[in-house]
Structure 1
Amino acid sequence: MSLKIRLARAGTKKRPFYHIVVADARSPRDGRFIEKLGTFNPLLDKTAENRVVLNAERAQHWVGVGAQPTDRVLRFLDAAGVAKREARNNPNKGEPGEKAKERAEEKAAKAAAAAEGAAE
């Protein structure tokens, strides 16, 4: 049985609140879980101390048993000092797409043609 440490959504419409749970990877997001490890309230300020409430001792136990945290939960575990999160680097993220590059080339060609026409 593969275990995940993930977020289970609670709260009402447009007012999210999440429980940090250990669950079987095959179970639904808000469905059956094994143990509740804490809570996450994204509506609170990032500096609020009760934005993320986590039982670090139990989280350490589940990570030791082999439970895989999701990306968001891994951030919380890294902040609590339970697990190490490697920094990601995607140098191509800020690069424009193919269509945008084509449009930029066309615009540059038109500008060069206009400048050449004005020079004559």
Structure 2
Amino acid sequence: MTALIENKKVIGPEKVVLEVLNAIKVYEKLDSYKFYSDKSFLKAHLELMKGLIESAGKYSKQGVGIVKGTIVEHITPPYEDVPHQMKDLFEYFKDADELTLLKNCVFHYEMEFIHPFLDGNGRMGRL
């Protein structure tokens, strides 16, 4: 696939180029997302993963395991619990008494542990 990014021609595998183009769009609109909103979080995932997975913008509807080689590194919480766990995490994020740096660290760790999406969890964590 060929794409123009900032008037420069970029050539690469279609999926990789689409990942980059989606990321650019999301980061350009970063100020439009509400950091304390699960709806905004899902919208960002939708835009970040558009055209890459069918379930973009939706929490996983199946259990997910993270495998490294032949070893299971992590089994996510049951998918039925994910919306509730994410809502709780966003409620914690609203706590004005907690230091922002600590909230960000806790949010990143917990979101990665919950692993709410089939794909794109790492990208959303970095976002």
Question: Do the two structures share a fold, i.e. TM-score over 0.5?
Answer: no
TM-score, normalisation: structure 1: 0.22
Greater fraction helix: 2
Higher strand share: 1
Q: TM-score, normalised by structure 2?
A: 0.21
* Higher radius of gyration, 1 or 2: 1
